Amino acid sequence: MTGARTVIEGAYIATVDAADTEHVSGHVVIDGTDIVAVGPGAAPQWATEGPVTRIDARGHLLTPGLINTHHHLYQWLTRGIAQDSILFDWLTALYPMWSKIDAEVVAAGALGGMAVAARSGCTTLADHHYVFPQNSGDILGAIVDAAGRLGIRLHATRGSMDLGRSQGGLPPDFAVETTSAILDASIDAVSRFHDPSRDAMTQIALAPCSPFSVTSDLLRESAVLARSLGVRLHTHGSETVEEDAFCAEKFGRTPTEYLDDLGWLGDDVWMAHCVHLDDSAIARFAATGTGVAHCPSSNARLAAGIAPVPQLLAAGVPVGLGVDGSASNESGQLGTEIRMAVLMNRLRAGADGMSGRAGLRLATMGGARVLGREREIGSIEVGKLADLALWKVDGIEHAGIADPVAALTLGAQPPLALLLVNGSAVVREGELTRLREADVARDVATASARLRSR
């Protein structure tokens, strides 16, 4: 034992381990950043000896910290716009405003988006940032700094677009970069920010935006570069029928076939949405270990469709949850995506199509697998990092509920009593511990107004 010890006792514990072990009234012991004991009943005597913080968690549900596998944090500043549009129309409406972002406004938006995610139980967040206007400053650095101030794990991406409208892409030409500049910036991002260590707070992936906004050359060269640098790859895939039509017309391929041709399937790749996958695409994802970030609220907001998540899971595909950009999911809360995923997939697959516990697994171990962190986070097990969410389930919303797990997966989101990252509190009794929420809200409002004025 080397660190400060914390003992949580009396909670209903959903470990989300391989056996789905649960304890009606159990304990978790944390030493420094690590979980050192988990089990039923009270903590062992050795855990309570010496300096220790004891938490009486009766009336609470303890789960792994939630993992958001797909976000666009800068979009926190552009919520409420193009409310009734499909994806391509929505993007066309928002590209001009996004072309005016800079590091200063992105910092405020990122902090706001991450703060809301943390208050919904999120301990790890993957952000797909792909808009880098000229002379906009160190946008990626601003996002990394915001995560450090808040105290959550960040999987940042150096995203990109190099296929402007004049070349047959969707983005306006002013919103794209050159391929060579993108590759140079990708190397720089990995050099500056990527931490490959077990308890890393920041990791970097390379993330060309989508088949309709980047060139084949960028996709191919990014895949080679990422693998030479030892980092992961991320993009959007098979989100809409319009994307399918674009790939069929331009490449004569489905999105999955096109990306597969360019080296973009593998266990170091995850794709957002994957709504329109046929059986052969699902089989290729399973055979290659390619992961999926399921974004149910955004898919509904943009009328993109319902992803075939039960079929993906049955095939063994790693699947996690994502909120997507806040401009297509004004909530930004990952905790509520569990319920949305369960209900939406039952619409597609029937009442037994997805259980609440399967939804919780998507948000925890599923996300850890998608991000390549399943050995460190995603479940409550000895030897894993102490990323934990403690939910109050004995209040007016959930008192008397037959199953505490259903309080989170089917009911109103329970109040968050405690959120730990590396054993340190990021949220306590629903409030951020490191930042004044009023300051975060004021800065978001100021940055949003500044961006609109441009």
* Digit-coded pLDDT (tens) for 321-351: 999 988 899 999 999 999 999 999 999 899 9
Is residue 2 predicted with pLDDT exceeding 70?
no
Chain-centre distance for alpha carbon 247: 26
Q: Are residues 194 and 312 in the same domain?
A: yes
Joined together, the tokens standing for residue 196 give: 């490959």
Q: Are residues 111 and 183 in the same domain?
A: yes
CB 392 within 8 A of CB 415: yes
Q: Are residues 279 and 160 in the same domain?
A: yes
What is the average pLDDT value for the chain, to the nearest integer?
Answer: 96
The beta strands (E) that lie in 218-264 are given as 232-237
Q: Are residues 343 and 308 in the same domain?
A: yes
Residue 453 lies in a domain: no
Is residue 128 predicted with pLDDT exceeding 90?
yes
Domain of 40, CATH number, reads: 2.30.40.10
Class of residue 264 by CB neighbours under 10 A (exposed 0-12, middle 13-18, buried 19+): buried
Of 370, 404, 421, the position where a domain reaches its end is 370
Residue 446 lies in a domain: no
Is residue 3 predicted with pLDDT exceeding 70?
no
d(CA 416, CA 395): 11
Domain of 234, CATH number, reads: 3.20.20.140
Residue 449 lies in a domain: no
Domain that holds residue 219: 66-370
Q: How many domains does the chain have?
A: 2
39-94 pLDDT, tens per residue?
999 999 999 998 999 999 999 999 999 999 999 999 999 999 999 999 889 998 99
Which residue type sits at 262?
A: L
Residue 454 lies in a domain: no
Q: Are residues 296 and 364 in the same domain?
A: yes
Residues found in the chain: 454
Residue 384 main-chain phi, psi, to 5 deg: -95, 165
Residue 104 lies in a domain: yes
pLDDT at 7: 98
Residue 438 lies in a domain: no
Residue 440 lies in a domain: no
Q: Are residues 216 and 116 in the same domain?
A: yes
> What secondary structure, in 3-state letters, does 270-318 show?
EEEECCCCCHHHHHHHHHHCCEEEECHHHHHHCCCCCCCHHHHHHHCCC
Class of residue 209 by CB neighbours under 10 A (exposed 0-12, middle 13-18, buried 19+): buried
User: In the Cβ-directed half-sphere of 182, how many Cα atoms lie within 13 Å?
Assistant: 31
The CA angle 415-156-152, to the nearest 5 degrees, is: 30
